[in-house]
A and B are shown apart, each in its own frame.
Chain A
Amino acid sequence: MSDVKATGAEATSVPTKVVMNQLPGAGIVGQSPLHHADLETVAKNGPKQGGVKFKEQKLMGLLTLRCNAQNPEQAAVAEKLLGVALPTTPLTSVEKGDTSVRWISPDEWLIVVPGNKAFALESAFFADMPGHYSLVNVSGGTTIYQLSGANVKDVLKKSTPVDIHDSEFPVGKVVSTVFAKSSAVIRRTGEQSFELVVRRSFADYLWLWIQDASREFGLVVEA
């Protein structure tokens, strides 16, 4: 398949790594982890007023990057390809255009790009990134929940042990933590808005949990 790339000497037999375009042609529509919940209909028929707003930002391109940001060559290439430097301060994120990068651990970042740009980014890293690194497409295994509204912090306080007070959790901060009985990568995207990156298999449980935790404030679903 033309889309399958392998590094290593051209045309020699042994590739060191493979990267592959995982998206089908335009005729085949992907189903996000909350596809079955039919949020479009819920959004259309559900309440328009409430203290908490929920939206699944679906079918994005999510990539886990592992590398050594102390390595100037890797840092430079990563910055060139992403358009922003990898954030090296713990628990921070950067965003530029349609690319955002979250610090996950000293040698791990979570990159989010539009779904159809993931393969291009993978290919670019594949071509240019020197040294020991890994870039893994995890788009199918994750989805993004956008939570906002006047009571969004109340819902988060019921769900995660992390301190989300303004003084401790400014806009842009990102934490990987416990969320209900699952986990999430939580990033503050605004005064009253947060983004949760959650695992596909837990998506339905977390959606149920968020509905429940929002009940007393009123939940508005956006599609």
Chain B
Amino acid sequence: MFHIYCPHCSEYREEEEFHYHGQAHIARPLDPDSCTDEEWGNYMFFRKNPKGIHHELWDHAAGCRKFFNVTRNTVTYEIKEVYKIGEQPKVVADAVPSK
């Protein structure tokens, strides 16, 4: 059970209020029609499964219903930061020594 800081409500809430939506920063191609099958396939299906730092999209489903991003360590389950849609993470994989 995670304890997640909602950047919109500005407080920690229990995981049961949130929904997970997979890897963050998967932008929809601006011109899908001109994507090759491979490009489209990458957008649709291919996701990272890192051991360590991972950027994730969450939704405060039972709260403010806003989406936001979470940087989480998939080994320790530590949440390193939360940041709003449109913002970039401050904590990235290279900055953290691999375990």
Interfacial chain B residues near A65, Cβ < 8 Å: none
- Decide if A104 is an interface residue (CB 8 Å cutoff): yes
Find out whether the CB atom of A91 lies under 8 angstroms from the CB atom of B16.
no
Interfacial chain B residues near A183, Cβ < 8 Å: 62
Looking at the complex, which one of A91, A108, A161 makes contact with B17 (CB distance below 8 Å)?
Answer: A161
Find out whether the CB atom of B66 lies under 8 angstroms from the CB atom of A91.
no
- Decide if B9 is an interface residue (CB 8 Å cutoff): yes
Interfacial chain A residues near B17, Cβ < 8 Å: 161, 177-178
Find out whether the CB atom of B10 lies under 8 angstroms from the CB atom of A91.
yes
| Chain A nearest Cβ from B84, distance in angstroms | 10
- Decide if B47 is an interface residue (CB 8 Å cutoff): no
Find out whether the CB atom of B64 lies under 8 angstroms from the CB atom of A176.
yes
- Mark out the residues of chain A between 85 and 112 whose CB falls within 8 Å of any chain B CB in the assembled complex: 90-91, 104-106, 108
| Chain B nearest Cβ from A162, distance in angstroms | 7
Find out whether the CB atom of A161 lies under 8 angstroms from the CB atom of B16.
yes
- Chain B interface size band reads 10 to 19
Also in contact, A108 and B64, with CB within 8 A (given A90-B8, A161-B14, A161-B17): yes
Q: Mark A157-197, 1 if CB is under 8 A from B, else 0.
A: 00001100000000000011110000100000000000000
- Interface of A, secondary structure class, is strand
- Decide if B38 is an interface residue (CB 8 Å cutoff): no
Find out whether the CB atom of A104 lies under 8 angstroms from the CB atom of B64.
yes
Whole-angstrom distance between the alpha carbons of A90 and B9 in the complex? 5
- Mark out the residues of chain A between 116 and 164 whose CB falls within 8 Å of any chain B CB in the assembled complex: 161-162
Looking at the complex, which one of A106, A161, A162, A178 makes contact with B64 (CB distance below 8 Å)?
Answer: A106
Q: Mark B27-44, 1 if CB is under 8 A from A, else 0.
A: 000000000000000000
Find out whether the CB atom of B66 lies under 8 angstroms from the CB atom of A175.
no
Also in contact, A91 and B13, with CB within 8 A (given A105-B66, A177-B62, A183-B62): no
Also in contact, A177 and B64, with CB within 8 A (given A90-B10, A161-B17): no
Looking at the complex, which one of A91, A106, A176 makes contact with B62 (CB distance below 8 Å)?
Answer: A176
Find out whether the CB atom of B13 lies under 8 angstroms from the CB atom of A177.
yes
Q: Mark B43-58, 1 if CB is under 8 A from A, else 0.
A: 0000000000000000
Interfacial chain A residues near B13, Cβ < 8 Å: 161-162, 177
Listed in ascending order, the chain B residues whose CB lies under 8 Å from chain A are: 8-11, 13-14, 16-17, 62-66
Listed in ascending order, the chain A residues whose CB lies under 8 Å from chain B are: 90-91, 104-106, 108, 161-162, 175-178, 183
